[in-house]
Amino acid sequence: NAGVMQNPRHLVRRRGQEARLRCSPMKGHSHVYWYRQLPEEGLKFMVYLQKENIIDESGMPKERFSAEFPKEGPSILRIQQVVRGDSAAYFCASSPPRGQGEKLFFGSGTQLSVL
Amino acid sequence: GENVEQHPSTLSVQEGDSAVIKCTYSDSASNYFPWYKQELGKRPQLIIDIRSNVGEKKDQRIAVTLNKTAKHFSLHITETQPEDSAVYFCAASLNFGNEKLTFGTGTRLTIIP
């Protein structure tokens, strides 16, 4: 089991560009979560998805941010027209279906730097 | 929504001594409380967790206690070692984890050799 895979590990964008962050959950996991971590701060919840469904997006900024978890392929966190304040580490986590264990496992994160 | 507070923000202890980190939560419906360890530049790693139907759980040098009435839970590390130095985060969620985790702000633990 390869664990939660995120890519890229580091992403540099200029202001106004788009950033796409990818996350492949652990094998057998059907729940994906995205968190953002600013330097010296805790993890802030952004969005919770299951295959083809957004379950909770209460932590997502209303503009420029979107997330998907298609039937096939990884989950994608997309940030349009990035600004310097978007610079952060973005962590994806996955967990098994409900009733099969509650533990959340994190990927290694994507460090986004906006110039 | 849930709010989790964590104290202290920094903690230094002599190697071999014990370290205690405390968290409080606001939503009495929360029922799952994991602790994560994060080393610099790395992913948060689950080190121990507790469910609301249990008051205490231990795994070797690490233990967690939960007081549902007071809505607080604590991480205890005994016989600390240099490799315990890291940032530790507490968290809380509903539905035993298959909902979003709300994290505390973290405790930077430094073990002094």
Question: Average pLDDT of chain A?
Answer: 92
User: Does residue B95 carry a pLDDT above 80?
Assistant: no
A103 touches chain B (CB under 8 A): yes
Q: Under a CB-based contact definition with an 8 Å cutoff, are residues B7 and B104 in contact?
A: no
User: DSSP readout, B4-64?
Assistant: EEEE-SEEEEETTS-EEEEEEES-TT--EEEEEEE-TTS--EEEEEEETT-SEEEETTEEE
Task: List the 61-90 stretch of A: residues with Cβ below 8 A of B.
Answer: none
Hey, are the CB atoms on B101 and A109 less than 8 Å from each other?
no
Task: List the 24-83 stretch of B: residues with Cβ below 8 A of A.
Answer: 32, 34, 36, 42-46, 49
User: Does residue A45 carry a pLDDT above 80?
Assistant: yes
Per residue in A52-80, pLDDT (tens digit) is 899 999 999 999 999 999 988 999 999 99
**Chain A neighbors of B90, CB-CB under 8 A:** none
Q: Under a CB-based contact definition with an 8 Å cutoff, are residues A6 and A108 in contact?
A: yes
The three-point CA angle B7-B15-B67 to 5° equals: 35
Q: How far is A80 from chain B (nearest CA, A)?
A: 24
Hey, are the CB atoms on A102 and B104 less than 8 Å from each other?
no
**Residues with Cβ within 8 Å of residue B35, at least 6 apart in sequence:** B46, B47, B48, B49, B62, B64, B75, B88, B89, B90, B91
Predicted local distance difference test score (pLDDT) of residue A41:
82
Per residue in A6-24, pLDDT (tens digit) is 999 999 999 999 999 999 9
Q: Rounded to 5 degrees, what are φ and ψ at B105?
A: -85, -5
Hey, are the CB atoms on A43 and B1 less than 8 Å from each other?
no
Hey, are the CB atoms on A95 and B45 less than 8 Å from each other?
no
Q: Which amino acid is located at A53 in the chain?
A: N
Predicted local distance difference test score (pLDDT) of residue A39:
82
pLDDT-based confidence at residue B98 (cuts at 50, 70, 90): low
Predicted local distance difference test score (pLDDT) of residue A100:
62
Hey, are the CB atoms on A42 and B34 less than 8 Å from each other?
no
Q: How far is A17 from chain B (nearest CA, A)?
A: 25
Q: Under a CB-based contact definition with an 8 Å cutoff, are residues A105 and A1 in contact?
A: no
Q: Mutation target for B interface from A32, A43, A60: give the one with most B CBs within 10 A.
A: A43
A52 touches chain B (CB under 8 A): no
Hey, are the CB atoms on B99 and A56 less than 8 Å from each other?
yes
Per residue in B7-63, pLDDT (tens digit) is 999 999 999 999 999 999 999 989 899 999 999 889 999 999 998 888 899 999 999
